[in-house]
Amino acid sequence: MKKIVLILSLSCAFILSYAQEESPTLKGNSQLNIGTGIFGGSGGLNLIPVHLGMDFFIIDNLSAGFDINWRYFASQEVVGKPSLISAQAVIDYHFNQVMNLPSSWDFYAGVKMGSGYMTTSEEMEAFNEYYSNGFKFVFDARAGIRYYFNGNLALNSEIGVTSVSGTKTTGASFTLGITVKL
């Protein structure tokens, strides 16, 4: 009986030592991201970004995808209340293997590029030539981290720098959101 208990215990220990969750950054995985945050930049802009995006892991630790953003003024005192809706292509490198992180963590950095449409009132356009209705090029450089509570659900946080062509909208952002591995 002692031999059977010993063999079962050693077998369980051996199996558990190799039974780690699959890394969320492996080729073929995909994930849905949704979140919000704050954006502050030149000209004293205080925008609220809201985003929805998808990441597809094209090779281990490299994802490509898309992100749809809406950035708007939260303050009622801002003249013209400009907002920006954008669609961007995303590419991120995930440092999990390089940093030897456990599978519950995901540290990444990357860029988002695409076009957006800015809307504002005529009053704002007359006040400041940099904020006019129309299409803009939007660029974001960012770094983020995710913590997976289980194999499918994670909390994510990002810091980044955003620039919008033809405007004074350049600044830093912080977002907090949820990631669901599909």
What are the tens digits of pLDDT across the range 49-98?
888 999 999 998 899 999 998 877 665 555 566 778 889 999 999 998 88
- Specify the pLDDT at position 12: 42
Domains of the chain: 2-181 (2.40.160.20)
- Specify the pLDDT at position 63: 94
- Specify the pLDDT at position 122: 67
Distance CA 159, CA 154 (A): 17
- DSSP readout, 78-127? STT--EEEEEEEEEEEE-HHHHT--TTEEEEEEEEEEEEEEE--HHHHHH
Q: State pTM to two decimals.
A: 0.76
Q: Is the dihedral of CA 35, 33, 168, 160 positive or negative?
A: positive
- Specify the pLDDT at position 178: 94
pLDDT (average), residues 22-46: 76
Which among 16-20, 60-64, 167-171 has the top mean pLDDT?
A: 60-64
Residue 68: other Cβ atoms inside 10 A: 15
- Specify the pLDDT at position 19: 38
